[in-house]
Amino acid sequence: MASGTEQIAPQLTALVRAKTGDPGASVREISPLPGHAGFGYSFLLDRTTAAGVSGKLVLRVAPEGTRIAGPADVVRQGRIMESLADTEVPVPPIIWYGEEAEFFGRPYFVAGFVEGFRLVDVPRMPREEMRALARAGVEKLAALHRVDWKARRAAWGGNGEPTPLSEEMRRLDHLLDRPTLDPVSVGRAPELREKLRASIPDARIGIVHGDYQFSNIMFNHGRVVAVIDWEISLLGPTLLDLGWICFFADPASFLGDRSRSSPAPLSADELVDLYAAHAGYPVAEEQVRWFRAFSGFRFGVITCFNLMLHRRGKRHDPEWEQTGRSAPQMFARALELLG
């Protein structure tokens, strides 16, 4: 059976020749990229003509056999990044995207390759240097939330309306209300859900990355060069992102040391203070605590669900066994934050 790169090579060649109009265009050094939402490859594009796009690029295609929605909607991801190209938020430059069946049989996008690293890739970096980069990452988060979302709402698809917090909670209900979940892992999640639902804040609306954490920020030359992985981006309460990055920086939400797998060189309080200094709007402490608690609930529910899938043999990923040990602590810490 042909490998993934062997299968993709002729399809990718057909794409670049069609898009560039160069019948001699070719691709080489195709290499798989990490990621769960579809298949990704880096490659070199060679041209027989001097003008136009060439060099190192990235291809992302939707996974086979899945409904094109949510994280699998790679065209939506391409549109979102393209819409941010003229803002303060650096994103990979989008070259092409589409749904033409003749190339891969499923949607795709092609972007420029961004040279950079994530904090998890440089564990021996001096701490103060790492903290300086982390601060730059938080400043870019504030910049994202200042972007005029109404002028770009079409990129997110649907009706272009923001997603209310009540809808985000209903999505998690679909994962939590399952008899197959481990009751020990679920712990106090139902109690937490009711407290969150009874205190939903009326929060500021903007562009939400959805998974803004240091593993999705690329750095180089002392600055942020790209924010990546826009699979679950939405229009909604911007503090969703702040609560999320604070959750991963809060050791009280986890058992054991997560510093190697998910470095957070700034504390949750430092993240909040820095964000508030650059947000350009008042950041209410009580709202931040709610969103931090909601993030603990969200990741805890996702953890319980993925642990169930792993144990039932539906999606092999033994790392969820380790993460699952912290699920009850995530819910307990969130309750503590809510007071």
**Predicted confidence (pLDDT) per residue in 203-240, tens digit:** 999 999 999 999 999 999 999 999 999 999 999 999 99
Task: Please compute the mean of the pLDDT values over residues 67-80 and round it to a whole number.
Answer: 89
Task: Please compute the mean of the pLDDT values over residues 25-42 and round it to a whole number.
Answer: 83
Nearest to 185 by CA among 279, 271, 307: 307
Amino acid at 230: W
Coil/strand/helix, residue 126: coil
The average confidence (pLDDT) of the chain is 93
Residue 2, pLDDT score: 44
CATH, domain range 4-112: 3.30.200.20
pLDDT > 50? residue 53:
yes
Residue 280, pLDDT score: 93
List C-alpha distances in Å: 169 to 163, 164, 195, 324: 11, 9, 12, 20
- pLDDT confidence of 1, banded at 50, 70, 90? very low
Residue 68, pLDDT score: 79
Least confident range from 9-23, 67-81, 97-111, 141-155: namely: 67-81
Nearest to 108 by CA among 57, 153, 144: 57
In sequence order, the 6+-apart residues with CB closer than 8 A to the CB of 40 are 32, 33, 34, 58, 59, 60, 61
| Domain chopping of the chain, boundaries | 4-112, 119-338
Least confident range from 45-49, 199-203, 226-230: namely: 45-49
Residue 262, pLDDT score: 59
Residue 263, pLDDT score: 61
Alpha helices in 70-218 (DSSP H): 74-83, 101-104, 127-146, 165-176, 183-186, 189-197
Q: 124-166 pLDDT, tens per residue?
A: 999 999 999 999 999 999 999 999 999 999 999 988 899 999 9
Class for the domain spanning 119-338: alpha beta
Equal CATH topology for 4-112 and 119-338? no
